[in-house]
């Protein structure tokens, strides 16, 4: 836990969660139009303590503990944004975002297109599995929103990106959904620069250089893919690992560049298989890099089931480094 202003001295390793807290602190200091709203975000500091100390610093007007009313929060944030505020709305778990699905996909997403009303707001919350949260506290709902024009969708994998992308999201004039993989909250640390910085929305990044195949992933699975990449390297297979970071808009350029270089593509996502983003990437590759593919596009994803509760089941349900390793090895043989 850093000083009251939320930023750590440079050179310190901070957690993913801390990076998010810093982004909120700094954006709220920078711009009084930024406010925070959600269940238990104030006095309690958020279910995961992501907003600890923010009420103390910014007061009751800017940190709003809401009733259990996801549609009301999202709707109110949208209304606030029309007067020039830039609300951040926390879903206590991202699973509950579906309780405001109509507000988000119809009101928030369509306003700029239909009547020229930008809605600068961020909806963020803890997502993803691997911590035995069970079927209603482990959601990866990204594709519902990737399929909704008018939204931007971010799903970072490192503290640096989390902070820089959350800041960019707050400053963006469009509604941005920001998913925070809760498995990373306290497990992943990184060094943050001292000053203000943002990470551009819509840009993927190559996390590992390679030449034999491309593994495309995001969020927690980036780390799992990198782990598989190390194991593959020991067998002489150099996998290039692309971290998408933003899912909408998708960075086609980085994807295409990497696949044109390696000529093989494996997509890894924690989201369930059917209708996951691997499909969209497959379509893009088929359309724009058809001649460059030397092997089938492959997918390593979660099963097409709800997220089961028991550790044995959840482990089987989720992708892991071993599954990625096997798939990559098979793909490399082409």
Partner 1 sequence: MKKELTRQQYLDLYYYMRLNRAVEEMMVKLFRQNKIVGGLYSSLGQEAISVGTAYALEKKDWLAPMIRNIGALLVKGVRPRDVFMQHMAKYDSPTKGKDGTSHFGDLDNLHIVSPISMLGDLIPVMTGVAMAGRYLGQRIVAMTWIGDGGSSTGVFHEGLNFAAVQKAPFVLILENNLWAYSTPVRKQVPLENLADRAKAYGIESYIVDGNNVLAMYSTAKEAVEQARAGEGPILIEAKTFRRMGHAQHDPAEYVPKEMRAYWEARDPIALYEKFLTGENLLDAKGRKEIEEKINTLLAKERDFAENSPLPPPEFAETGVYCTGDDCHKIRAKWERPIAEVTPPRSSVEAVWTVPGFGSGKGSGGAHAPIHFGDTQPAETKPAEAGKSAVQAPAKAAAKKTVKAVPASASRKARR
> Interface with partner 1 includes 231 (CB under 8 A)?
no
When asked if residue 146 is in the footprint of its own copies (CB under 8 A), the reply is yes
- When asked if residue 116 is in the footprint of partner 1 (CB under 8 A), the reply is yes
Alpha helices in the chain (DSSP H): 16-30, 54-58, 70-82, 101-102, 111-115, 142-146, 159-171, 220-234, 252-262, 277-288, 311-317, 321-332
Nearest to 285 by CA among 268, 267, 300, 303: 267
Q: Quick check: 68 and 92 in contact, CB under 8 A?
A: no
Query: Which one of 39, 142, 180, 243 is in contact with ligand TPP (CB under 6 A)?
Result: 39
The answer to the question of residue 101 lying near partner 1 (CB under 8 A) is no
Residues in 282-301 at the binding interface with its own copies, rule: CB under 8 A: 282-283, 285-288, 290, 293, 295-299
User: 123 - beta bridge partners?
Assistant: 89, 177
Using the minimum distance from each CB to its own copies, give the nearer residue, 32 or 249: 249
**Gap between the Cα atoms of 213 and 240, Å rounded:** 6
Q: How far is the CB of 236 from partner 1 (least distance, A)?
A: 30
Residue with tokens 């600890």: 52
Of 185, 215, 216, 174, give the one whose Cα is nearest residue 94.
185
For partner 1, the closer CB: 77 or 184: 77
Identify residues 214-253 at the interface with its own copies (CB under 8 A).
Answer: 248, 250
Compose the 46-85 pattern: x for residues touching ligand TPP by CB under 6 A, - for all others.
----------------------x-x---------------
Dihedral angle at the C-alpha atoms of 78, 79, 85, 88, nearest 10 degrees? -40
Q: Which is nearer to ligand TPP, 66 or 263 (CB)?
A: 66
Here the tokens at position 278 are 């691997």
Q: Is 143 in the site for its own copies (CB under 8 A)?
A: yes
The answer to whether residue 137 is catalytic is: yes
Are 35 and 62 a contacting pair, CB within 8 Å? yes
Residues near its own copies (CB under 8 A): 95, 98-99, 101-102, 105-106, 109-110, 113-114, 135-136, 143-144, 146-147, 149-150, 248, 250, 272, 274-283, 285-288, 290, 293, 295-299, 304-306
Catalytic site positions: 137
């Amino acid at each position: 836990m850093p000083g009251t202003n939320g930023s750590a001295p440079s050179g310190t390793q901070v957690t993913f969660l801390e990076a998010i807290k810093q982004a909120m602190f700094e954006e709220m200091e920078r711009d009084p139009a930024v406010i925070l709203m959600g269940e238990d975000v104030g006095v309690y500091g958020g279910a995961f303590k992501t907003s600890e100390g923010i009420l103390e610093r910014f007061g009751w007007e800017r940190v709003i503990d809401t009733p259990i009313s996801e549609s009301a929060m999202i709707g109110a944030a949208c209304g606030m944004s029309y007067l020039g505020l830039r609300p951040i709305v926390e879903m206590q778990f991202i699973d509950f975002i579906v309780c405001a699905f109509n507000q988000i996909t119809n009101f928030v997403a369509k306003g700029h297109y239909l009547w020229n009303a930008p809605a600068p707001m961020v909806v963020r919350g803890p997502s993803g599995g691997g911590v035995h949260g069970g079927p209603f506290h482990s959601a990866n709902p990204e594709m519902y929103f990737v399929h909704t024009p008018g939204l931007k969708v971010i799903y970072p994998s490192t503290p640096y990106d989390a902070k820089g992308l959350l800041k960019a999201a707050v400053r963006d004039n469009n509604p941005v959904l920001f998913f925070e993989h809760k498995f990373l909250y306290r497990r992943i640390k990184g060094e943050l620069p001292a000053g203000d910085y943002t990470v551009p929305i819509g840009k993927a990044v190559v996390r590992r250089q390679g030449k034999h195949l491309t593994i495309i992933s995001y969020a927690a699975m980036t780390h799992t893919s990198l782990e598989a990449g190390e194991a593959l390297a020991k067998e002489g297979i150099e996998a290039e690992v692309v971290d998408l970071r933003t899912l909408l808009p998708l960075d086609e350029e980085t994807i295409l560049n990497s696949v044109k270089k390696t000529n093989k593509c494996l997509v890894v996502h924690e989201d369930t298989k059917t209708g996951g983003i691997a499909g969209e990437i497959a379509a893009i590759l088929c359309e724009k890099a058809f001649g460059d593919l030397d092997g089938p596009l492959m997918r390593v994803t979660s099963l097409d089931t709800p997220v089961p509760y028991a550790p044995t089941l959840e482990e089987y349900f989720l992708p892991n480094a071993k599954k990625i390793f096997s798939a990559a090895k098979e793909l490399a043989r082409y």
